[in-house]
């Protein structure tokens, strides 16, 4: 199933179009997307039998982030071997975790304003949590996942790297620096949810292309390591790191400029399309 946010309303996306959940459920489920994650099991059971009668057409510009107000956002750095190699960093002994603050959350389409000249792209697989969890075992970790979506971990490299120690959370949390979408896809939709092709293209040139099977910490391993320490809540958003091909690794570095178009794709999920404006 594809479930997401259409103009701020919880929506199921079917072959027939967009089905508004509050209307189709006669108010049994509320319209705001963030309210559904604590009721995920009940909701998905109902959604499997939801009729298409209410399906309407929609435009990508109307899509919002599938989890617009998560209690927590966790992101992992240095999680693909080829990205570690291009960055000249050591393979971490533990997952390198930071946050992207919730004020940076935005949707899968439209314009993003660049306030500096050093903003980079990072295509990522993003996980949305559907069940509260603490000390989750690797074998059970997929049971805690509501679905998978696409993310662009936009990063101001100067803010991120300024000392005395890196400020990843700040450099990756400017307004609209955390776009996700176009919807979440439930894990049962994938033949192998641990092995998806991920890519992004800048003005039509492919910059990143990899498979999520190349992650050092897979989705279940990341959930297990993280929940060994912190509690995970329904609606929490987990960013799983980016493969090689970011702009800072080019010689000279290539950062995003006004007029650029960035398209981020994960097979089996869809695409996000953003264009950039100067402040």
> Least CB distance from residue 251 to Zn ion, whole Å?
21
Q: Of 16-24, 115-123, 182-190, 243-251, which segment contacts Zn ion by CB under 5 A? A: 115-123
Beta bridge partners of 209: 199
Residues from 51 through 70 that contact Zn ion (CB under 5 A)? none
Is the sign of the CA dihedral 208, 213, 215, 218 positive or negative?
positive
Contact 226, 63 (CB under 8 A): no
Which residue's CB comes closest to Zn ion? Answer: 153
How many helical (H) and strand (E) elements, i.e. helices and strands, does the chain have? 6, 18
Instruction: Name the E strands within 93-191.
Output: 96-98, 105-106, 109-114, 119-120, 123-129, 145-152, 155-156, 178-185
> Least CB distance from residue 117 to Zn ion, whole Å?
20
Total residues interacting with Zn ion, rule: CB under 5 A: 3
Q: Comparing C-alpha atoms, which of 152, 198, 200 is closest to residue 176?
A: 152
In angstroms, what is the C-alpha Rg of the chain?
A: 18
> Least CB distance from residue 242 to Zn ion, whole Å?
5
Instruction: Kindly tell me which residue out of 34, 242, 244, 245 binds Zn ion, with binding defined by CB under 5 A.
Output: 242
Check residue 120 for interaction with Zn ion (CB under 5 A).
no
Q: How far apart, in whole angstroms, are the C-alpha atoms of residue 217 and residue 94?
A: 9
Check residue 5 for interaction with Zn ion (CB under 5 A).
no
Q: How far is CA 94 from CA 86, 97, 133, 137, 182, in A?
A: 19, 9, 20, 16, 31
Check residue 122 for interaction with Zn ion (CB under 5 A).
yes
Print the binding letters for residues 136-165 with Zn ion: x by CB under 5 A, - otherwise.
Answer: -----------------x------------
Q: Of 89-97, 114-122, 158-166, 261-269, which segment contacts Zn ion by CB under 5 A? A: 114-122
Q: Of 5-13, 197-205, 216-224, 236-244, which segment contacts Zn ion by CB under 5 A? A: 236-244
Q: Which residues form the interface with Zn ion (CB under 5 A)?
A: 122, 153, 242
């Amino acid at each position: 199933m594809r479930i997401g946010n259409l103009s701020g309303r919880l929506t199921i996306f079917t072959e027939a179009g967009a089905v508004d959940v509050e209307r189709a459920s006669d108010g049994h489920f509320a319209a705001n997307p963030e309210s559904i994650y604590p009721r995920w099991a009940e909701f998905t059971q109902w959604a499997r039998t939801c009729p298409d009668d209410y399906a309407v057409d929609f435009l990508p510009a109307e899509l919002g982030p599938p989890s617009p107000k998560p209690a927590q956002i966790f992101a992992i750095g240095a999680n693909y071997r080829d990205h570690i190699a291009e960055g000249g960093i050591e393979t971490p002994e533990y997952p390198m975790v930071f946050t992207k603050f919730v004020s940076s959350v935005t949707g899968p389409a439209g314009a993003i304003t660049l306030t500096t000249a050093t903003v980079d792209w990072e295509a990522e697989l993003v996980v949305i949590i559907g069940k509260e969890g603490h000390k989750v075992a690797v074998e059970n970790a997929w049971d805690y996942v509501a679905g998978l979506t696409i993310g662009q971990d936009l990063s101001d490299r100067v803010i991120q790297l300024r000392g005395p120690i890196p400020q990843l959370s700040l450099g990756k949390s400017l307004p609209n620096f955390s776009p996700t979408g176009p919807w979440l896809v439930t894990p049962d939709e994938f033949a192998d949810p641990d092995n998806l092709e991920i890519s992004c293209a800048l003005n039509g040139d492919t910059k990143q292309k990899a498979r999520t099977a190349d992650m050092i910490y897979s989705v279940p391993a990341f959930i297990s390591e993280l929940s060994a320490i912190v509690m995970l809540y329904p609606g929490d958003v987990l960013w799983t790191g980016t493969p090689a091909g970011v702009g800072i690794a080019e010689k000279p570095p290539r950062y995003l400029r006004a007029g650029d178009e960035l398209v981020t794709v994960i097979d089996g999920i869809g695409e996000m399309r953003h264009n950039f404006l100067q402040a």
